[in-house]
Amino acid sequence: MTQLQAFHDTLTPMHEIPKQLGAWARALERTRSRSPSSFEQWFSSVQLDGMDANVLRLCAQNEFVRDWVKTHFQPDLVAHLEQSLGAPMRVEWRVSAELDSPLCEPKAHSSRRRRSSAGPTSEPRPSLVSADRERLSAVLNPKHTFANFVVGPSNELAYAAALASAGGGGPRYNPLFIAGGTGLGKTHLMHAIAHKLLEDRPDARVVYVSAEHFTNEFIEALQHHKMDEFRSRYRQQCDLLLLDDIQFLAGREQTQEEFFHTFNALRDADKPIVVTSDKYPQQLQRMPERLVSRFTSGLVADIQVPQLETRVAIVRKKAELEGIPLTDDVAVMLAQTVKSNVRELEGALIRLAAKSSLTGRPVDLAFAQAELARVAPQRPDLVSVEDIQRAVCTHFRMSNAELLSKDRHKSVAFARQVAMYLCRQRLKSSFPELGRAFGNRDHTTVMSAVRRVEELRAKDPQVNAHLEAIEQQLASSGE
């Protein structure tokens, strides 16, 4: 018996062994009963080294397993032991990659462990796979699947590319860089990629993390001298890396350096990398050029503000998922009212459903209009592209025809760039939409104009004065 053999290696008197063995068995069984599957995942990487009157000695396969078990299982385990033995217990840990007698061995891992005992293997330890799966399950939204993603002209390229990255067919681009404003569906696609890959390959090692969390993990690894574990998790034990909100790495030079090498290691191993940002790669500030060039080496797919028809379909899909009865006229009214943010659009629907449930009123058109007017009154600062163009023309004393013409004179070009910048900032319009609104120009022209004005505003007081004057004019015209 494995546990009994472990006791023989201790200095515990022989007449105490049965009592301690019984207490240990009962404590294990009570701890297992809380969550059998989780217990097997973690205690397959823990073994009993021994126990005497007041010390329990355990061994973990790595530091991550040790820390997790100490936090989530050890308090209950020790409490059960102390209750059975009537004496205080403390736990001493050691770490060893080789375990002679794990406390349990899940059937799913038994053949893999036999292979590892026969010789070296490139497969990760089951405990590490379990750890990452626990993390992933905690952050993935089960409703964020490809089936629940409404596809329209504003997002069809990003959808197709994301599906291909998950192994759903079509050419796979590595990296895939998904750009788009807040609340337009970037995170939904990231979750959908993870769900799809795990559905097709349950043993796949998927790492989904925000740039902020990646930074925090990196700092913690530096502080606690665990860089080998950190690099192993992101480079060797990863079949797919999903990194959300890459713009938050701006200015963090050490983290950027670490991510640069992680990126290279994964791409060299042909492991897919998917990154999201609220800006295009070329617009990322305080980001090294070598990272920007790598982001653009694959496919940059943007998600734009959805058109009315797509917004209506999004509202209907959300209502279907949440079991909310919704008429066509209410769906259209919601889509017409909330234009720039899918998350806000879905939130408005949920608020209506909640108020309807509390008051007993049906979600009809009159009810929806009254509630939306109450919680989201029309803001006076909402203007159109035409309003901004008119204000810019007034300020710079030129006609609208000149502003939209092909004239490249310095003064006209600058006014045009200012108008594009203000439209982008105030209306969150997509680059292709603005290109069409400014004389059918290419979206890259608009991107360049916005970037130039951003740079000038930061360093040229005169440019800043122009912008403030136009913004003040727009504000006063809306009152």
Is residue 28 within 8 Å of residue 80, measured between CB atoms? no
- Candidates 268, 358, 351, 363; CA nearest to 325 is 363
Quick one: tokens of 84?
């059975």
Type of residue found at 360: G
One fold for both 137-303 and 385-477?
no
**CATH class for the domain made up of 2-95:** alpha beta
41 token code pair: 């995942």
What does the radius of gyration of the chain's CA atoms come to, in whole angstroms?
Answer: 29
Q: Tokens at residue 107, please?
A: 């059937």
Separation between Cα atoms, residue 420 and residue 366, nearest integer Å? 37
Cα–Cα distance, 132 to 139 (Å, whole number): 11
Whether 121 and 86 have beta carbons less than 8 Å apart is answered as no
What is the pLDDT tens value at each position of the chain, 479 positions in all?
444 444 344 434 444 455 677 788 888 888 777 666 667 767 888 888 888 778 888 998 877 678 778 877 888 888 888 888 888 888 999 988 788 888 876 433 333 333 333 333 333 444 444 555 666 767 788 889 999 999 988 899 999 999 999 987 777 889 999 998 888 899 999 999 999 998 888 888 999 999 989 999 999 999 888 999 999 999 988 999 999 999 989 889 999 999 999 999 999 999 999 999 988 888 787 899 999 999 999 999 988 888 889 899 999 999 888 888 888 988 998 988 887 788 888 888 888 888 888 888 888 888 888 888 776 544 444 578 888 998 999 888 888 888 988 888 888 999 999 999 999 888 878 888 898 889 889 888 999 999 999 888 888 878 888 888 898 778 766 54
| Second CATH level (architecture) for the domain 385-477 | Orthogonal Bundle (1.10)
Residue 274 parent element (H or E) = strand 273-277
Could you tell me the residue ranges of all domains in the chain?
2-95, 137-303, 308-375, 385-477
CATH tag, 137-303: 3.40.50.300
As beta bridge partners, residue 207 has 241
Helix 342-359, helix 308-322: angle, nearest 10: 40
Buried b (16+ CB within 10 A) or exposed e, 307-324: eeebbbbbbbebbeeeeb
Q: Measuring CA to CA, which residue among 478, 381, 474 is closest to residue 419?
A: 474
Count of alpha carbons within 13 angstroms of residue 274, beta-carbon side: 31
The residue count for the chain:
479
Is the entire prediction scored with pTM above 0.85? no
CB-CB neighbours of 105 under 10 Å = 17
Give the burial string for 29-63 (b: 16+ CB within 10 Å, else e): eebbeeeeeebbbbbbbbbbbbbeeeebbbbbbbe
Query: From CA 135, how far away is CA 174, in angstroms rounded?
Result: 24
Check residue 453 and give its pLDDT.
92
CA–CA separation, 470 vs 188, rounded Å?
37
For 277, phi and psi rounded to 5 degrees?
Answer: -160, 155
- Nearest one of 173, 175, 144 to 160, comparing CA atoms: 173
Q: Which residues contact 367 (CB under 8 A, 6 or more apart)?
A: 352, 356, 361
Distance CA 161, CA 149 (A): 13
Exposure string over 391-424, b if 16+ CB within 10 A, otherwise e: bbbebbebeeebbbeeeeeeebebbbbbbbbbbb
Identify the pLDDT of residue 192.
94
Confidence (pLDDT) at 18: 57
Q: Which residues share a beta bridge with 91?
A: 56
* CATH classification for the domain delimited by 308-375, as one of 3.30.413.10, 1.10.8.60, 3.40.605.10, 1.10.580.10: 1.10.8.60
